[in-house]
């Protein structure tokens, strides 16, 4: 019974065995002993709360904050015992904070629920009861046969049963999973590939046995048992048979597959990390400071309690004649009385812990986050996308980043390959208007002149058009269905309507370039390849494909030419081709390849080999023997390939550009100057990744590139790491870059983590290739948990980046072409990588200095507020008499001093935004949480104590003993004294913030002087009228009486000047004698043109009006103001011309 209850509540996992058995179409065995396995449903959940757990879970997370938990305790104490202040003074602010935060976090999670519902509610087709039924994605069960059409994503992990192709294959892209945009071919087993109709699938009797879900995208072990005519046929299943959730079907009309992993058990979901509450470094500092202030509070309460009992040791003070004890008080326990007094003092001094700090911080983060969306410089006009904030809790963390971990494909690049140059027969060519033009020549020949290409150039183009595994998709979806001719022209379709899909983006770019030049690949049916050479069709029989592998770094095809000859075309990296060439312009081509590489182009070398009939017979026998070998097949194939791919004739080389996004190089350089280390983590091949790193400036040409690749054992990996560490120590001048692959990284992180970290920290740039999604997250976690605990940022655009985005302190999604998974799970989303520079260097800088000052100022003004209360106890026999009226106690943090610091924390700019972008080094000034260091915290705390002493004793000296300050000789009472201290305090702390303000807007002026004015107006009304609903009114006419004294006005002015004058002198001296780089930049920024950053960071009403102008390129107002907004060609943003 207990086990059943646990299962119903979800505490027991749904599967216990090491393997799972999936009955296709859920045809379970008929015997009564079978107990079906329990599997997860197909819902994807990225949200954190449900309607049932929101209240308890959110309250638990909020009360983990020290201040919230502390005020809860204070509130409970006020309810239980008689205290000097009402429980409302603690309970109301606490309730307000908890409610506002819960609403904000609930709204953010509702957005995640909304996105999940879109995914889970997507329509899908499944085979049920002999027909094709439309249902929702969340209703798919393990064992269901699912139909997926072209360009749709797979709704679950499916084992491919059949496709519309006769051979049962299909083509997919996994860009949203591993970042690769190339086309991958997947296969069905022969026994199921013939089941292409719903009726055939309904009659299919098959069972899939496979491993339980695991996160590895590239591993799948299973088998399928098909029953035909009473005979069981067993076929192995591997990764090539599994269609992963999130991948997209391409170049295939439809497929049928059986669901084996669903929902949160799919490989895509297993590569997601659980969402956890991210906390910024500032919030951690706040918690530390709160603990220190809690210690100060306890010290003051304990000291006051001890001194009270020390004072009451004398009988005349223990029970004075005017305050006789009751019988119950005399007989009460002294221990309980001590505890009660201690708690009363705790409540009296509890305002030293500012709960309104959290309210203000929440409001500052929420309102401040709108500036990112309103910033026109973060708006991408081509895609009509503006920056968005998914989690405003981490705004200030953008100013503390030390490591950036970025994806490559779609993040640094546009996912677009473009053919740029080639070298044929020792001559460099470039493509101009669809023609190959030799270097140094102009394109003044008439159209079609490319047909005059010589034999060598033509053979090179044919090799490019034939040596590949490219697939073709036509505009007409049925052109390849039903056994028709696969060649487009035979069906009357123009070859201009076809689209290429390739296993490598380079292959696609090269085939497309050859087509533009005049040699077009027009189709393949598995046995024959056809090209159209300047209007003439040629058919080549495909004899063998020598597949690409990472060791050989080349791929080849063996073809039979239309004339009957046998030829091998091969292409690959120059290091894999040139050593095996025996003829052709080898040295000139090697030189050209180096030149292409220096330009950041991805290079491939093309060669050929002609076989005599005898040679081909030998080659054919070797290949067939190797392919059919049952033992050591891979080694025998490698030997056969090496035997065939030799004695090559060099045809030429190609240079393809993986188009980078705009200003990627400048952005990476700016981050480097800001002291931020950039790591590139990609699932791409080693050569591809290094090439892009060089072209985007991540690696420099002068950098010494170290490699940790293809390590196969722990010892081998450790030895290589030691060699790399020695190389770095021996060479102190050259910058080092490190290249690591996924397999070697796994070994390095297993037992040699410390050594690996040492090597990485001494490298200027690190590139990790062939990375699985969870490996990316592990690398980020490695640095997060290192002793230095640096702040990390991860940025990516695909589902394969979600894990590292969630693991990093700050996760940023790119609104790219690989779906919205990264954006949905990120903290911030931007349209292009180049926007990262402004997001960190400007917005991050502003958010951090604003909130750092906000936190320090709050502690300062609360020390100023409560210390006079503590000092007052020495003059009232520790009777727990309050110095301030309860209304002042409640409104000090809520009304009188709250708005100036809130407005400051929204609009302050120490340096102009353009200066911050032009001088990235200023970012270093705020790194490592420098503005919230213990030294700075100590300065603000001591300043608060000093000002509090001046407030209290300045007022005390003024009033003195038996001193009258009224013209009629009347004396001031204790409420007047407290009001005088409170008045001086409100004015001083407000003016102190004014001294800290560098960037003044009309709103700063309004709230600064308005707060002081509001205090005076409120006090006059509060004390000048008898309010019928108040039980007691101690403040009646007190404030009016205070202001009627000229001596009181004089005291206010003198005390305020005494407090602030030393601060002004200190600022002036430091600014002129020891100016910081920020202060120097402030003087420089006065000469900078006012940009649209100024506009975007104006008060909310003005900034919000800019949203309507987000599509502007040029707006001219011909009104009286004559204001012009221009978009200059440089990176200076829009500027105000004339006003």
Laid out side by side, the sheet with 157-163 consists of: 131-136, 123-128, 145-149, 254-261, 157-163, 242-243
**Distance separating alpha carbons of residues 797 and 801, to the nearest angstrom:** 7
Q: Are 923 and 845 in contact (CB under 8 A)?
A: yes
Q: Copy the structure tokens of residue 670.
A: 């700016």
User: 407, 801, 885, 1092: which is the annotated catalytic residue?
Assistant: 407
Rounded to 5 degrees, φ, ψ at 683 are: -90, 0
Paired residues of 427 in beta bridges: 424
Q: Look at residues 289, 85, 100 and name the one whose alpha carbon lies nearest to residue 858.
A: 289
Rounded to 5 degrees, φ, ψ at 780 are: -60, -45
**Distance separating alpha carbons of residues 841 and 837, to the nearest angstrom:** 6
**Distance separating alpha carbons of residues 289 and 944, to the nearest angstrom:** 14
> Which SS3 state, helix, strand or coil, does residue 604 take?
strand
Q: Look at residues 492, 498, 500, 494 and name the one whose alpha carbon lies nearest to residue 475.
A: 498
**Distance separating alpha carbons of residues 528 and 543, to the nearest angstrom:** 9
CA dihedral 873, 877, 878, 883 (to 10 degrees): -40
Rounded to 5 degrees, φ, ψ at 977 are: -60, -45
In angstroms, how far apart are the furthest CA atoms of the chain?
129
CA 381 to chain centre: 22
Q: Are 804 and 408 in contact (CB under 8 A)?
A: no
Q: Are 154 and 249 in contact (CB under 8 A)?
A: yes
Paired residues of 753 in beta bridges: none
Residues whose CB falls within 8 Å of the CB of residue 309, separated by 6 or more in sequence, listed in order = 338, 341
**Distance separating alpha carbons of residues 390 and 395, to the nearest angstrom:** 11
**Matching residue, tokens 């060669």:** 607
**For 379, what's the count of Cα atoms within 13 Å in the CB-facing half-sphere?**
20
**Matching residue, tokens 């800001």:** 674
**Distance separating alpha carbons of residues 175 and 352, to the nearest angstrom:** 54
Within 10 angstroms of residue 1063's Cβ, the number of other Cβ atoms is 15
**Distance separating alpha carbons of residues 434 and 427, to the nearest angstrom:** 18
Q: Angle between the 334-349 and 66-80 helix axes, to the nearest 10 degrees?
A: 130
Q: Look at residues 147, 133, 113, 97 and name the one whose alpha carbon lies nearest to residue 43.
A: 113
Task: Residue count of the chain, please give it.
Answer: 1139
H or E, element range at 650: strand 648-660
DSSP string for residues in 624-637: HHHHT-SSSHHHHH
- Concerning whether 407 is annotated as a catalytic residue, the answer is yes
Q: Copy the structure tokens of residue 1042.
A: 């205070």
Between the alpha carbon of residue 220 and those of residues 38, 223, 261, the distances in Å are 20, 10, 11
Q: Angle between the 88-120 and 54-62 helix axes, to the nearest 10 degrees?
A: 130
Q: Look at residues 376, 360, 356 and name the one whose alpha carbon lies nearest to residue 368.
A: 360
Q: Are 963 and 988 in contact (CB under 8 A)?
A: no
Burial class (CB in 10 A: 0-12, 13-18, 19+), 675: middle
Active site residues: 407
């Amino acid at each position: 019974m207990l086990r059943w209850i646990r299962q119903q509540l979800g505490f027991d996992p749904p599967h216990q065995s090491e393997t799972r058995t999936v009955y296709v179409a859920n045809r379970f065995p008929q015997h009564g002993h079978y107990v079906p396995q329990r599997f997860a449903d197909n819902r994807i959940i990225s949200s954190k709360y449900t309607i049932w757990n929101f209240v308890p879970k959110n309250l638990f997370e909020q009360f983990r904050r020290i201040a919230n938990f502390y005020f809860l305790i204070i509130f409970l104490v006020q309810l239980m015992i008689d205290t000097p202040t009402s429980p409302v003074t603690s309970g109301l602010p606490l309730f307000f904070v908890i409610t506002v935060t819960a609403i904000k976090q609930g709204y953010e999670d509702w957005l995640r629920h909304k996105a999940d519902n879109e995914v889970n509610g997507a329509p899908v087709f499944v085979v049920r009861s002999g027909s094709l039924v439309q249902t929702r994605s969340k209703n798919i069960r393990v064992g269901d046969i699912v139909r997926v059409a072209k360009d749709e994503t797979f709704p679950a992990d499916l084992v491919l049963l059949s496709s519309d192709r006769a051979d049962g294959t299909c083509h997919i892209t996994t860009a949203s999973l591993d970042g690769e945009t190339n086309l991958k071919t997947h296969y069905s087993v022969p026994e199921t590939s013939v089941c292409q109709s719903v009726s055939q699938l309904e009659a299919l009797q098959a069972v899939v046995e496979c491993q339980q879900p695991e996160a590895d995208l590239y591993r799948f072990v299973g088998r399928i048992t098909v029953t035909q005519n009473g005979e069981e046929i067993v076929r192995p299943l591997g990764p090539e048979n599994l269609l992963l959730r999130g991948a997209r079907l391409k170049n295939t009309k439809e497929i049928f597959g059986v669901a084996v992993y669903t929902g949160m058990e799919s490989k895509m979901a297993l590569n997601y990390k659980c969402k956890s509450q991210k906390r910024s470094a500032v919030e951690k500092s706040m918690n530390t400071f709160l603990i220190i202030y809690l210690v100060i509070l306890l010290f003051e309460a304990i000291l006051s309690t001890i001194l009270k009992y020390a004072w009451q040791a004398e009988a005349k003070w223990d029970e004075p004649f005017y305050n006789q004890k009751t019988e119950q008080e005399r007989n009460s326990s002294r221990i309980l009385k001590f505890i009660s007094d201690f708690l009363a003092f705790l409540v009296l001094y509890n305002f030293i812990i500012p709960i309104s700090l959290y309210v203000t911080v929440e409001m500052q983060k929420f309102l401040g986050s709108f500036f990112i969306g309103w910033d026109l410089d973060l708006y991408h006009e081509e895609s009509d996308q503006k920056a968005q904030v998914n989690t405003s809790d981490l705004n200030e963390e953008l100013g503390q980043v030390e490591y950036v971990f970025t994806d490559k494909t779609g993040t640094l690049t546009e996912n677009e390959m473009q053919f740029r140059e080639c070298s044929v027969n020792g001559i460099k060519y470039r493509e101009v208007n669809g023609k190959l033009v030799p270097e140094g020549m102009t394109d003044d020949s008439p159209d079609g002149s490319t047909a005059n290409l010589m034999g060598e150039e033509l053979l090179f183009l044919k090799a490019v058009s034939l040596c590949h595994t490219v697939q073709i998709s036509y505009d007409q979806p049925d052109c390849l269905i039903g056994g028709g001719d696969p060649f487009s022209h035979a069906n009357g379709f123009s070859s201009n309507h076809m689209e290429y899909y390739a296993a490598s983006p380079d292959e696609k770019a090269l085939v497309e370039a050859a087509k533009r030049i005049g040699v077009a690949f027009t189709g393949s049916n598995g046995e024959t390849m056809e090209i159209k050479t300047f209007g003439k069709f040629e058919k080549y029989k495909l004899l063998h494909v020598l597949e690409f592998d990472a060791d050989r770094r080349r791929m080849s095809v063996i073809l039979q030419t239309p004339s009957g000859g046998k030829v091998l075309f091969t292409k690959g990296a120059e290091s894999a081709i040139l050593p095996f060439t025996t003829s052709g312009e080898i040295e000139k081509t090697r030189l050209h390849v180096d030149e292409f590489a220096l330009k950041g182009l991805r290079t491939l070398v093309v060669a050929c080999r002609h076989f005599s009939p005898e040679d081909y017979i030998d080659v054919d026998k070797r290949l067939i023997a190797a392919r059919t070998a049952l033992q050591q097949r891979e080694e025998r194939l490698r030997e056969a390939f090496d035997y065939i791919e030799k004695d090559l004739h060099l045809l030429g080389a190609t240079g393809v550009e993986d188009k980078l996004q705009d200003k990627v190089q400048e952005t990476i350089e700016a981050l480097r100057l800001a002291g931020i280390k950039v790591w590139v983590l990609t699932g791409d091949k080693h050569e591809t990744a290094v090439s892009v790193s060089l072209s985007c400036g991540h690696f420099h040409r002068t950098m010494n590139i170290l490699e940790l690749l293809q390590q196969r054992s722990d010892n081998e990996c450790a030895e290589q790491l030691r060699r790399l560490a020695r190389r770095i120590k021996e060479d102190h001048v050259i910058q080092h870059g490190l290249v690591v692959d996924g397999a070697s990284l796994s070994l390095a992180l297993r037992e040699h983590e410390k050594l690996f970290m040492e090597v990485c920290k001494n490298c200027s740039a690190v590139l990790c290739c062939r990375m699985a999604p969870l490996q990316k997250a592990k690398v980020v976690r490695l640095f997060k948990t290192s002793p230095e605990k640096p702040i990390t940022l991860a940025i990516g655009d695909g589902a394969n980046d979600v894990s590292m985005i969630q693991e990093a302190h700050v996760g940023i999604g790119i609104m790219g072409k690989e779906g919205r998974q990264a954006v949905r799970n990120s903290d911030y989303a931007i349209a292009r990588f180049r926007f990262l520079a402004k997001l960190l260097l400007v917005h991050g800088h502003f958010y951090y200095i604003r909130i750092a000052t906000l936190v320090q100022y709050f502690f300062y003004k609360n020390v100023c507020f409560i210390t006079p209360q503590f000092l007052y106890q020495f003059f009232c026999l520790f009777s727990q008499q309050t110095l301030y009226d309860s209304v002042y106690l409640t409104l000090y943090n809520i009304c009188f001093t709250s708005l100036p610091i809130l407005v400051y924390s929204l609009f302050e700019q120490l340096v102009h935004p353009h200066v911050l972008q032009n001088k990235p080094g200023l970012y270093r000034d705020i790194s490592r949480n420098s503005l919230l260091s213990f030294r700075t915290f100590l300065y603000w705390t001591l300043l608060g104590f000093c000002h509090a002493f001046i407030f209290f004793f300045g007022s005390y000296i003024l009033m003195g003993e038996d001193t009258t300050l009224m013209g009629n000789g009347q004396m001031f009472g204790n409420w007047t004294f407290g009001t005088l201290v409170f008045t001086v305090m409100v004015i001083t702390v407000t003016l102190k913030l004014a001294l800290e303000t560098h960037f003044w807007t009309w709103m700063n002026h309004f709230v600064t002087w308005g707060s002081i004015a509001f205090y005076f107006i409120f006090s006059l009304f509060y004390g000048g009228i008898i309010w019928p609903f108040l039980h007691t009114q101690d403040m009646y006419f007190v404030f009016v009486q205070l202001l009627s004294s000229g001596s009181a006005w004089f005291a206010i002015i003198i005390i305020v000047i005494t407090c602030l004058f030393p601060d002004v002198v200190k600022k002036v001296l430091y600014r002129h004698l020891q100016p910081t780089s920020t202060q120097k930049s402030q003087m420089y920024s006065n000469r900078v043109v006012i940009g649209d950053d100024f506009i975007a960071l104006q008060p909310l009403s003005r900034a919000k009006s800019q949203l309507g102008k987000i599509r502007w390129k040029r707006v001219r107002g011909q009104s009286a103001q004559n204001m012009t907004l221009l978009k200059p060609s440089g990176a200076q943003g829009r500027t105000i011309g004339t006003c």
